[in-house]
Structure 1
């Protein structure tokens, strides 16, 4: 039997084409959720969630019922299901974004879920309309499944870390814009308007996402040979870039303005969970201490105490 406690190894260079295709497919499904889900602050209503088989929209309300869309990385199918028992599937296999888009929208129409989306990707430099994207067409089944298993391991540690905070905090969820699993803590203070700057993403989107002072943590398939864990603060306090964080492999990337910990430094460690937890705690402390957060009011039980 497979040991799901292992941290899967997947070099970014070995699956870059699949990653970029899957990114576009995830954007299509995420935008479908966004078209129907009630708005929640910081765009929390548009995210996807790791599931027992892949990534899911969770239940999305529609008329007098609802629907769910799930990427199944075990059977390699996109499942579309409604609360009245009907379903459709789209095969996850090598195919262009244009074909996947047509098939997915056709499946929705067959289920009677009338949907219109802004059919152009966000947060990527080259934003090819989905219906015209014949460039991205790769799908490596093993790589997609390994990425999902990376997300499961990251979600478990982030979930335990989340339990040690009593202030306002996000779920652990997957943002399809940047293709990252993320968790965010808030100081409780309003932040100055975000200047924007994400490619093919209106400044208003960034202003809503960063309306309040925060520290964010997550994982994405970039920033290292096997991806990277990250942490950043908005507004970044003075001295944040120079503040030492743990473990030793972590560093501040001045181009991204983020603290990074290469995935391989976690997966290759004797105790990967402990190494990642150390990074999360020390990077939070950097943001909160330098930013003057009221930690007596915000910090709850420690991760170890919560787990016990």
Structure 2
């Protein structure tokens, strides 16, 4: 078994994961408030780093501010372009306490604290400043989750290289707490009906303004009780739900309207990277073929380090 793909059973760290999700929402809202809007909300996401998750540089303060989750030393760290830095520990606390410490960190960096309001895309949201329930923090489980993110991020980035059309960065959306990568057909999509809990319809409709095939990774939650990979298409083409994805452990979830592949099926396979890539490629092909995407134009071979693509030659 590949030890780079750690065991991350969801139930033992469910409450810690919920807390980390809310903390990520709070910091994500800081980036959202200070960064000009980019298509599909790409300006608001996190990225996997060598130690956890980072906002990258946010345009605030004296030149810029970066906020990171250090999921090895279990810290929230902040750095400003003028040389200032600050941090506080991730440990058991309430969301309100985390909010207060984050505001203090921003102030020490010369950054701009906002009214961060309340979470999005969660049931029964409570304003951050009013959520005084004590939350646990299982540091070992958080580190295993980070190690899984690193492994998944590597495969998603490799998958991203075999597409010449518009494709998103590999990034973590703090609203639904999923690491995702999205391919675009190049065509506009029908108006999305909206209705995502605690998310303005205008945001959802802008995010799905164009046809997509999107894949991602959840640690658990969002309608699944264990870590899983997903893949969906918008708009969903006819026959999507009856198509047969690969590998054999993948299936279509009627409730979610998406293909799912359990993380455990990947982790326990003889070649986890190849197994995950098989799922990503298989479900993308289903979406692209049923949706009549121009695959001959949009696709290419998987990228190789230090090897430029040969232009004018079909490589896929």
Measured after TM superposition, the shift of residue 226 of structure 1 is 3.8
Measured after TM superposition, the shift of residue 167 of structure 1 is 0.1
Q: Indicate the residue corresponding to 2:91 in structure 1.
A: 93
Q: Indicate the residue corresponding to 2:143 in structure 1.
A: 145
List runs of 5+ in structure 1 lacking aligned partners. none
Q: Indicate the residue corresponding to 1:291 in structure 2.
A: 291
Q: Indicate the residue corresponding to 2:27 in structure 1.
A: 29
Q: Indicate the residue corresponding to 1:251 in structure 2.
A: 251
Aligned equivalents of 2:211, 2:108: Cα separation in 1: 43
> What do the CA deviations read for 1:92-115 (whole angstroms, capped 9, x no partner)?
011111100011012112222123
Q: Does structure 1 conserve the Cα–Cα contact (< 8 Å) formed by 2:230 and 2:261?
A: yes
Of 165, 172, 175, 1:174 maps to 172
Aligned equivalents of 1:246, 1:86: Cα separation in 2: 49
Aligned equivalents of 2:2, 2:69: Cα separation in 1: 19
Measured after TM superposition, the shift of residue 121 of structure 1 is 0.1
Q: After the TM superposition, which of the residue ranges 4-13 and 248-257 deviates more from structure 2?
A: 4-13
Q: Indicate the residue corresponding to 2:269 in structure 1.
A: 269
Q: Does structure 1 conserve the Cα–Cα contact (< 8 Å) formed by 2:2 and 2:272?
A: no
Aligned equivalents of 1:262, 1:63: Cα separation in 2: 42
Backbone CA RMSD of aligned residues: 1.6
Secondary structure of 1:39's counterpart equals coil
Q: After the TM superposition, which of the residue ranges 46-55 and 215-224 deviates more from structure 2?
A: 215-224
Q: Indicate the residue corresponding to 1:51 in structure 2.
A: 49
List runs of 5+ in structure 2 lacking aligned partners. 308-316
User: Given the two structures, how large is their TM-score scaled by the length of structure 1?
Assistant: 0.95
Structure 1 277/21 Cα, relative in aligned 2: closer, same or farther at 3 Å?
Answer: same
Secondary structure of 2:278's counterpart equals helix
Q: Indicate the residue corresponding to 1:108 in structure 2.
A: 106
Q: Does structure 2 conserve the Cα–Cα contact (< 8 Å) formed by 1:224 and 1:263?
A: no
> What do the CA deviations read for 1:224-250 (whole angstroms, capped 9, x no partner)?
554000000000000000001100100
Q: Does structure 1 conserve the Cα–Cα contact (< 8 Å) formed by 2:61 and 2:112?
A: no
Q: Does structure 1 conserve the Cα–Cα contact (< 8 Å) formed by 2:184 and 2:212?
A: yes
Residue pairs, 1:184-223, within 5 angstroms: 184-222=182-220
Q: Indicate the residue corresponding to 2:6 in structure 1.
A: 8
Q: Does structure 2 conserve the Cα–Cα contact (< 8 Å) formed by 1:224 and 1:262?
A: no
> What do the CA deviations read for 1:53-103 (whole angstroms, capped 9, x no partner)?
100001112255001000001111100110111011121011111100011
Q: Does structure 2 conserve the Cα–Cα contact (< 8 Å) formed by 1:20 and 1:136?
A: no
Aligned equivalents of 2:33, 2:57: Cα separation in 1: 13
Aligned equivalents of 2:153, 2:267: Cα separation in 1: 14
Q: Does structure 1 conserve the Cα–Cα contact (< 8 Å) formed by 2:117 and 2:128?
A: yes
Aligned equivalents of 2:275, 2:115: Cα separation in 1: 41
Q: Does structure 2 conserve the Cα–Cα contact (< 8 Å) formed by 1:35 and 1:117?
A: no
Of 51, 59, 62, 1:61 maps to 59
Measured after TM superposition, the shift of residue 136 of structure 1 is 5.3
Q: After the TM superposition, which of the residue ranges 226-235 and 56-65 deviates more from structure 2?
A: 56-65
Q: Does structure 2 conserve the Cα–Cα contact (< 8 Å) formed by 1:77 and 1:92?
A: yes
Secondary structure of 1:59's counterpart equals strand
Secondary structure of 1:261's counterpart equals strand
Q: Does structure 1 conserve the Cα–Cα contact (< 8 Å) formed by 2:2 and 2:270?
A: no
1:20 and 2:18 aligned = yes
Q: Does structure 1 conserve the Cα–Cα contact (< 8 Å) formed by 2:119 and 2:125?
A: yes
Equivalent residue pairs, number? 304
Residue pairs, 1:129-140, within 5 angstroms: 129-135=127-133, 137-140=135-138
Measured after TM superposition, the shift of residue 197 of structure 1 is 1.9
Secondary structure of 1:214's counterpart equals strand
Q: Indicate the residue corresponding to 1:282 in structure 2.
A: 282
Aligned equivalents of 1:136, 1:233: Cα separation in 2: 38
